Amino acid sequence: TQLLEQSPQFLSIQEGENLTVYCNSSSVFSSLQWYRQEPGEGPVLLVTVVTGGEVKKLKRLTFQFGDARKDSSLHITAAQPGDTGLYLCAGALGAGSYQLTFGKGTKLSVIP
């Protein structure tokens, strides 16, 4: 059983379109992070959300943490080819937890 379910698994869109990817769980997380991974590289942190209902914006990316701290979403406005990559959500289950649990990721392709 996957603790963090990400959807969709694959997404192919045209440049300029908007998109949302989701990260869901039945467990409550103390905090949640989103990473982006490009082929042949390690994941790179995009954002950390810690408060239920929190919304963070990073240029064209908007991240939301659910009120119950069980889910999160990433919205990209006017996607660009440079947004192509694997988007991973990762969460820590408890306040004292140092284990980050990762979802399987959403593989995004933005076609010029």
Partner 1 sequence: GAGVSQSPSNKVTEKGKDVELRCDPISGHTALYWYRQSLGQGLEFLIYFQGNSAPDKSGLPSDRFSAERTGGSVSTLTIQRTQQEDSAVYLCASSYLPYRGRNTGELFFGEGSRLTVL
31 binds partner 1 (CB under 8 A): yes
C-alpha dihedral, 110 to 17 to 83 to 54, nearest 10°: -140
Q: Which C-beta is closer to partner 1: that of 22 or that of 102?
A: 102
Distance CA 79, CA 77 (A): 6
Residues 6+ apart with CB under 8 A from 55: 62, 63, 64, 65
Q: Which C-beta is closer to partner 1: that of 15 or that of 41?
A: 41
Q: Which amino acid is at 22?
A: Y
What minimum distance in Å lies between the beta carbon of 11 and partner 1?
15
Structure tokens at 111: 């076609």
Q: Which of these ranges, 14-22, 57-65, 73-81, 98-106, lies near partner 1 under the rule CB under 8 A?
A: 98-106
Pairing of strands 85-92, 31-37: antiparallel
- The residue from 66, 105, 108, 110 that contacts partner 1 (CB under 8 A) is 105
Say which residue the tokens 């995009």 belong to. 46
Q: Which of residues 32-61 bind partner 1 (CB under 8 A)?
A: 33, 40-45, 48, 50
Interacting residue ranges for partner 1, rule: CB under 8 A? 2, 4, 6, 30-31, 33, 40-45, 48, 50, 88, 90, 92, 94-105
